[in-house]
Amino acid sequence: MSVIRAEPFDFPLRRGGIGLIVIDMQRDFIEPGGFGAALGNDVAPLQAIIPAVRALLDGVRAAGLPVIHTRECHRPDLSDCPPAKRARGGATPTIGDRGPMGRILIAGEPGAEIVPELAPLPGETVIDKPGKGAFHATPLAEVLTGMGLRQLLFAGVTTEVCVQTTMREANDRGYECLLAEDATESYFPAFRQATFEMIRAQGAIVGWTAPVAAILAGIGGDHG
Ligand code: C5J
């Protein structure tokens, strides 16, 4: 069996059963004027990972493996947004309010779109999710079962919120999960690092981490 060189130990690669989930690489988190910026964050570090996520996407696509994209967003009437979520953070504007990229975190608005460099290709699955975890109130579980996947690669933002939450949900559902270290970012560097350590602790209690180059080498998609 081939492996991906990873921490805390090599990730056993079960060919045919692995896919990539790219979490929430949306303008609302990554560009000025969106949700992330409204909460007072510097979005520049998140913008900086776009090339690494693109390299991972390109390699996974070249290897013929499935790609799933997620977007955190809500219905225009906010019926899927708990008032507590909307109120939290104390930010203005907040979810549903109008900003420079349209209504914040609302499906169909420009800010809710994935950044153009990472746009889904025709045929790739896009999951709109109202929560931080991508399994909550979405068809993701059925989609993954239908694809016959047993292992998941993860990239996207933010590391300790939507990425980690979804990895934990997937781990509990029996998936072996590997997070691409340089293709995930947080507004808080210490939280990103802590997430890596939490995931890998106790013999990969949530999963593995590895650089994009190691993942591409492992899946045979290293064309760079
Ligand atoms: C956040 C996310 N951080 N995609 N969402 O609110 O991680």
What is the CA(215)–ligand 1 centre distance, in A?
Answer: 24
pLDDT tens sequence across 49-87: 999 999 999 999 999 999 999 999 999 999 999 999 999
In this prediction, residue 224 has a pLDDT band, given cuts at 50, 70 and 90, of: very low
Residue 5 lies in a domain: no
Active-site pick, 132, 162, 177, 182: 162
Residue 69 lies in a domain: yes
pLDDT tens sequence across 136-161: 999 999 999 999 999 999 999 999 99
106's enclosing H/E stretch is none
Residue 7 lies in a domain: no
pLDDT score recorded for residue 1: 75
From the CB of residue 221, how many other CB atoms can be counted at a distance below 10 Å?
20
- Specify the number of domains making up the chain: 1
What is the CA(72)–ligand 1 centre distance, in A?
Answer: 7
Q: Containing domain of residue 116, as a range? A: 12-220
Give the separation between CA 118 and CA 28, rounded to whole angstroms.
14
CATH number at residue 214: 3.40.50.850
pLDDT score recorded for residue 223: 34
pLDDT score recorded for residue 221: 45
What global pTM score does this model have? 0.97
Residue 4 lies in a domain: no
Residue 93 lies in a domain: yes
Residue 114 lies in a domain: yes
Identify whether the C-beta of residue 140 lies closer than 8 Å to the C-beta of residue 169: no
Q: Is 132 a catalytic residue?
A: no
